[in-house]
Chains A and B, each alone.
Chain A
Amino acid sequence: MPVFIRRYVHYVDKFNRLLGRFIMYFIFVMAGILLWSSVSKTFFLPSLWTLEMAQFAMVTYYIIGGPYSLQLGSNVRMDLFYGGWSDKTKAWMDAITVLFLIFFLGVLLYGGLSSTAYAIEYGERSYSAWRPYMWPVKVIMCFGLFMMILQSISEFFKDIARIRGTEI
């Protein structure tokens, strides 16, 4: 494989791995927010911000964690036929169908960007007592979707390499 492709795969994988390994500790952030929410509700005044903050944390968790989960191979496939194919056939099929995945992510990102642009331009706020601005979480989501696309392209290159009988 050409050097620049190898570099691309190397750096994208490395960056997404770091990102994923950082974001996986967000499970404690979410638990912490929820715990504070129940403590404050029972003993003090209920906090206004916990519910939406927990939601933002959850979205960040799974969108930013997405690329790392692709690397870990945790996304299930229906292996009715897939399971019985040789590694080469699998690589061929993946190299084709991953393009569909990239298309899906591309449409997601397109919708995300226009929604984010709207949120920034008009200073969109959530309908709640806390009224947080919506753009930070949307920017995070777009960033995550973008990294997801980069990771899918990296997976595509790895499939191509597998078809040619090499590894990156």
Chain B
Amino acid sequence: MSYELIAILMFSSMMLMLMTGQRVFGAIGFVGVVAALALWGTGGSDIGFSAAMKLMKWYPLLTLPMFIFMGYVLSESKIADDLYKMFHVWMGPVRGGLAIGTILLMVLVSAMNGLSVAGMAIGATIALPELLRRGYDKKMVTGVIQAGSSLGILVPPSVVLVLYAMIARQPVGQLWLAGVFPGLMMAAFFILYVVIRCRLQPELGPVLPAEERNIPRAEKLRLLRSGLLPIFIFAAMMVPFVNGWTSLVESSAIGALTAFLAAVVKKRMTREVFENSVRNTLGISCMFMWIILAALGFGAVFDGLGAVRAISGLFTEQLGLSPWTILILMQLSFIIMGTFLDDTAMLVIVAPLYVPLVHALGFDLVWYGVLYTITTQIAYMTPPFGYNLFLMRAMAPPEIGLKDIYGSILPFVCVMIFALVIVMLFPQIALWLPEYVYSK
């Protein structure tokens, strides 16, 4: 049997196993070890365990539990309540202002944790009910929260970029810095969209009534102080890192402990919050780690077959496509796959296939990391099986149906694709900051 055929067989049996609804790590791991045993006999039996050892040696992975813990502390302890109030008071008098405030809130939450789940939880439970009560259009605000929370994986710290770094063998620090400007640019596009939409149709985002806007200046300034907390947490994490005092991993631990202490100082760390954060951190970390473990084993077999070279040869030599056409095709296929595959599975299965290909085509892998993350964001949000869509359904108030959620994301997906194209055309948006910082 040719190696290409084995590769295709492995890939399709994995898809089939995933369809059965077994735990993702079990499905991937099973196909990996069976293929290893079939190819190399008993010599293939240690491939699973050596994947576990490889995972242990991969030091930056320690950031994963840290950021997950941080995300849970922030969302469970409701530290973000005050932040929301701040934006509410300051942005209320503007048309569509609360929606803009929500996007800004999401940017701050993204700067404090590396996954989109925390932003989603904060947005859906704190901001969404308020926005609906003020007569904001439910489709628009659902979209705002989904799009805004997806920034969590692009704005540093980002767990997705940590995993990407592992696969692409690129420095995490550069990747994180590369995410800064594209993330802010995308947030600016979202805000622009809301402003334009509300100018054309003022009924979508009414201004706050006069009696609610009548808040004493002292109170307004007091609320502004709550914005210091996320800046403080972000600084505690990033300043020692950028100055080279601590490594990335150590910074993530400092960030996690700072968030924890902030919750304690604010008297929000009740027994229940503590229990939930610690327990869920274990659950989610185990989920990630076991999937990565299984996928590393699977990938080792795949690498052993030389499947990637075969695929890239097929595209460039036999079909004669230009590198840019292949890149665009890859992003498109990625979005399509992302609508069907689970997010983490997609990350660990698809990235090992694409990243070496991108490298072979001569593109910058840090730049591609940003493209990759934006594409993941889009894939999370697109129906019928976007991961964020289901999260939103689970967390949003009952009057928001699946249909509203599906309808809400369309304009934002267009905005995100626009942002993706901009970053593709102007790589300097992503690459300027890391080059500036690291060339010093």
Contacts and interface: CB of A to CB of B under 8 A. Distances in A.
Contacts of A1: none
Interface string A56-95: 1011011101101110101111111111010000100110
A93 B65 CA distance: 31
B57 interface: yes
A93 B294 CA distance: 21
A31 interface: yes
Contact of B18 (A30, A78, A107): A78
B290 A104 contact: no
A54 interface: yes
A44 interface: no
A135 to B, nearest CB: 13
Contacts of B254: 34-35, 38
A27 B287 contact: no
A31 B257 contact: yes
A166 interface: no
A38 B246 contact: yes
Nearest to A141: B52
A97 B246 contact: no
B17 A97 contact: yes
A78 B246 contact: no
A97 B20 contact: yes
B250 A75 contact: no
Interface in A5-26: 20-21, 23-25
Nearest to B24: A76
Contacts of A98: 22, 26
Given A38-B250, A77-B21, A80-B19, A24 B282 contact: yes
Contacts of A112: 49, 52
Given A51-B59, A80-B340, A108 B48 contact: yes
Contacts of A110: 45
A131 interface: no
B278 interface: yes
A154 interface: no
A123 to B, nearest CB: 17
Interface SS, A side = helix
Contact of A111 (B46, B66, B247): B46
Interface stretch (B27-35, B74-82, B355-363): B27-35
A87 to B, nearest CB: 12
B22 A100 contact: yes
B309 interface: no
B325 to A, nearest CB: 30
B21 A79 contact: yes
A156 B55 CA distance: 28
B19 A81 contact: yes
A72 B276 CA distance: 12
Interface string B50-82: 101101110101100110010000000000000
Contact of A76 (B23, B46, B59, B282): B23
A31 B256 contact: yes
B281 A24 contact: yes
A66 B26 contact: no
Given A77-B24, A80-B385, A100-B30, A111 B45 contact: yes
B132 to A, nearest CB: 27
Contacts of A30: 62, 65-66, 253
27 contacts: A23-B282, A24-B281, A25-B278, A31-B66, A54-B249, A55-B62, A62-B285, A62-B289, A63-B52, A65-B286, A66-B286, A68-B286, A74-B280, A74-B283, A77-B23, A78-B342, A80-B340, A80-B385, A81-B21, A82-B20, A83-B21, A94-B22, A98-B22, A103-B34, A104-B26, A104-B32, A104-B294
Report the 6 A-B pairs with minimum CB-CB distance, sorted nearest first. Answer: A82-B21, A74-B283, A111-B49, A34-B253, A101-B26, A69-B286
Given A75-B290, A77-B23, A78-B24, 8 more contacts: A23-B282, A34-B254, A55-B59, A59-B56, A66-B290, A75-B25, A101-B29, A107-B37
